[in-house]
Amino acid sequence: MKKKQQDINKIILKGENEEVEFKMSFDKEVVETITAFANTKGGAVYIGVNEKNKSISGISLSNESIQNWTNEIKTKTEPSIIPDTDIISVNNKTIVKISVKEYPVKPIAVKGRYFIRKHNSNHQLSIQEISDIYMYSMQYSWDSYLYKDIKYSDLNERHIKKFIKQVNLVGRFFLPNTPQAALKKIKLINEKGITNAATILFSKQDLKYNVHIGRFKSKSLIVADTMISGNLFDVLKKSMQTIISHLKFAFEITGNTTKRHEIPEYPLEAIRELLVNSLVHRDYTNPSDIKIKIFDNEITFFNPGKLFGGITVKDLVNDDYQAQARNKLLAEALYLTKDIEKYGSGYWRIRNYISDYPTMNFDFKEISGGFLTKLSYTEQKISKNNNLYKMSEPVVNEVNEAVSVIDRVTDRVTDRVTDRVTDRVTDNLSDTQVKIIDLIKQNSKITTSKMAEKVGISKRKILANIAKLKKLGIVKRIGKPKDGYWEIVKK
């Protein structure tokens, strides 16, 4: 008995939390809290305790009090909860502990409303959160349901064959070479039809699950705006190309070679990780787009749908959580192609990728309707080593006059290069212009449309860069537009 009193005193001193609440008396909020505990990790309400001053006020009980409270909890909850009760005497005062374990099938309602426990308060669930918790507790996922009015012939079989080849190359699982047999083996299709996951991965038609990418000069000034949609693999490829086209690159040129070492504004592995996470873990029942905003010193990813499976922002910060997938089949498919790891190591890897970028930060938070992640920095990385190199002002001016790192039209010009840049910089070309020259060397009859496809930018930007190369006397066009060819002018 003495140990139990000591334990109660310790609990009271710690205060309310995810599994503990104090009440002066029994009321309707006690029932709400009991259902919130049952829908989360379980917990106990201590009646007869004053939360404000952390003291035991005690409570008077009749012969029917405990039975009446139990009946009220049972009749007001659906499915009915029958809690455990314990009468405890502390310092000659009586308190009652009403406790409940986490229920396996969730959520439980109290008079048609649903609650979960967050920190030290009850949070009423939205319709979407109710659906998420139910599917999670039943071990269902939305992407395992059948997509309405779609047939196997509506899937892109060429994409399916590429998927099979990639899975077998990775070696985490073996799939038969027959497309339908392969999809059945990993439950993307079945006898009844085509799942949401298979449709998202391989559909020929545009499902309008958009990725909206914008390049901003300020919060309100948009200088480029791209909407990307299609099946997941195409969207992943096109979105990555679009993001890269808007990033700044630094070029390090050593004294031993004229070859340039490209240093992206952000580690591209981290960008890809964030993009893949957005595509796999988004809430596909939410009509909002994935929104990617690229600013001068930061990039943000907004993903429709909040954190899933009881994971909190605090869990992500501490890397203390078990991986939960809102879309299990999508996660499984990209795990098999080695595009993701299933075990919740994504944020750990992002932190590892940016560790080589001294001033870069990785932040994330839940916001209305979704989840926002952000990479930002104060100074762009300009050398391969971990430390930012500080050059004297005269050298900076000289280098800035000699080297145009990225096309000025899109304002992607690096502010510094490293101390290892030689006094004579042999090329004054952007990365895009170097790629155009390489393409012409490979095929002198290449079209500007094909250049745009290869480089990953618009045809308009290709034409603008070619105009600059012509002005510099580096390339020229021989013959008519349809029958002519490009020539590299020797200088």
Report the alpha-carbon distance of residue 362 to residue 351 in Å, rounded.
7
Parallel, antiparallel or unpaired: strands 20-23 and 43-47: parallel
Greater confidence (23 vs 394) lies with 23
Greater confidence (54 vs 239) lies with 239
CA 290 to the chain's CA centroid:
10
Q: What pTM was estimated for this model as a whole?
A: 0.60
Mean pLDDT, rounded, for 178-206 = 95
Q: How many residues does the chain have?
A: 491
Query: Out of 332-336, 408-412, 450-454, which region has the weakest mean confidence (pLDDT)?
Result: 408-412
* pLDDT tier at 329, thresholds 50, 70, 90: very high
pLDDT of residue 67: 95
Greater confidence (104 vs 2) lies with 104
What is the 8-class DSSP label of residue 490?
P
pLDDT at 415 over 50: no
Fold of 393-488: Arc Repressor Mutant, subunit A (1.10.10)
* pLDDT tier at 428, thresholds 50, 70, 90: low
DSSP 175-236: --SSHHHHHHHTTSEETTEEBHHHHHHHBSS-----EEEEEESSSS-EEEEEEE-SSHHHHH
pLDDT at 421 over 90: no
For residue 377, give every residue at least 6 positions away whose Cβ sits within 8 Å of its Cβ, in sequence order, or none.
266, 297, 298, 357, 359, 360, 361
* pLDDT tier at 420, thresholds 50, 70, 90: very low
Percent of the chain exceeding pLDDT 90 equals: 53
* 211-324+338-377 CATH choice from 3.20.20.80, 3.10.180.10, 3.30.565.60, 3.30.365.10: 3.30.565.60
pLDDT in tens, 257-292: 556 678 899 999 999 999 999 999 999 988 899 999
pLDDT at 304 over 90: yes
pLDDT of residue 3: 60
pLDDT of residue 473: 85
- Quote helix, strand, coil % in the chain, to nearest 5: 35, 20, 40
Fold of 2-125: 3.30.950
Greater confidence (255 vs 397) lies with 255
pLDDT of residue 169: 93
pLDDT at 413 over 60: no
Parallel, antiparallel or unpaired: strands 43-47 and 93-100: antiparallel
pLDDT at 295 over 80: yes
Burial class (CB in 10 A: 0-12, 13-18, 19+), 107: buried
Greater confidence (405 vs 214) lies with 214
Six-digit token string for 266: 């952000």
Q: Specify which of 71-75, 404-408, 467-471 reaches the highest per-range mean pLDDT.
A: 71-75
pLDDT at 297 over 50: yes
pLDDT at 101 over 70: yes
Question: How big is the CA angle at 309 (ends 70 and 209), to the nearest 5 degrees?
Answer: 135
Count CB neighbours of 24 within 10 A: 14
- 309-338: string of b/e by CB count within 10 Å (b at 16+)? ebbeeeebeeeebeebbbbbbbbbbbbbbe
Q: Where are the domains of the chain?
A: 2-125, 142-202, 211-324+338-377, 393-488
CA distances in angstroms from 90 to 5, 56, 269, listed in the order given: 6, 8, 58
pLDDT at 187 over 90: yes
Mean pLDDT over all residues of the chain?
Answer: 85
pLDDT in tens, 348-398: 889 999 998 999 999 999 998 899 999 999 999 877 654 443 333 333 333
For residue 89, give every residue at least 6 positions away whose Cβ sits within 8 Å of its Cβ, in sequence order, or none.
1, 5
pLDDT of residue 23: 96
pLDDT at 18 over 80: yes
pLDDT in tens, 115-163: 999 889 999 998 878 887 887 776 678 899 999 889 999 999 999 999 9
* pLDDT tier at 256, thresholds 50, 70, 90: low
* pLDDT tier at 62, thresholds 50, 70, 90: very high
Positive or negative torsion for Cα 270, 275, 279, 281 = positive
pLDDT of residue 384: 65
pLDDT at 404 over 60: no
